[in-house]
């Protein structure tokens, strides 16, 4: 699979003792595709949708609600411009193993 850059994913956790969200982040080579139009029954709706394919057979920590951004960002929490992950798919079987991540 061809990649066109790198991405940073912040995986959200919870610190029950302090009562706050915690984040761990990881950087991956990936193929990033972003578009701003979506077809709906009533016509076209504007949405900033992102599809990311992360090649490889490794397991990654990912969940709905995690944050993602294009590029390598080394911060302890995600910036406000980071997209929110709305879904993902484990496609590590077959000829083209990868993770598919969808975000808005």
How many whole angstroms separate alpha carbon 12 and alpha carbon 22?
Answer: 6
pTM: predicted TM-score of the whole model, two decimal places: 0.85
Range 83-103 burial, b when 16+ CB lie within 10 A, else e: bebeebeeebeeeeebbebbb
Taking Cα atoms as reference points, which of 23, 8, 14, 5 lies closest to residue 81?
8
DSSP for residue 11: E
- Domain 5-103, CATH class in plain words: mainly beta
Q: Are 26 and 11 in contact (CB under 8 A)?
A: yes
**pLDDT for position 48:** 79
- DSSP character string of 56-84: SS------TT-EEEES----SS--TTPEE
**pLDDT for position 23:** 95
Domain range list for the chain? 5-103
Mind listing the pLDDT tens digit of every residue in the chain (104 residues)?
Answer: 789 999 999 999 999 999 999 999 999 999 999 877 666 677 666 677 899 999 998 999 999 999 999 999 999 999 999 999 999 999 999 899 999 999 99
**pLDDT for position 40:** 66
**pLDDT for position 1:** 78
């Amino acid at each position: 699979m061809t990649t066109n850059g790198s991405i940073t994913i912040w995986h959200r956790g919870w610190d029950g003792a302090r009562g706050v969200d915690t984040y761990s982040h990881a950087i991956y080579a990936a193929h990033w595709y972003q578009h701003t139009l979506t077809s709906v029954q009533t016509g076209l709706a504007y949405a900033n949708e992102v599809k990311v394919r992360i090649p490889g057979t490794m397991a990654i920590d990912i969940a709905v609600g995690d944050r993602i951004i294009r590029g390598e960002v080394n911060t302890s929490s995600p910036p406000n411009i980071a997209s929110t992950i709305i879904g993902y798919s484990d496609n590590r079987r077959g000829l083209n193993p990868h993770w598919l991540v969808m975000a808005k």
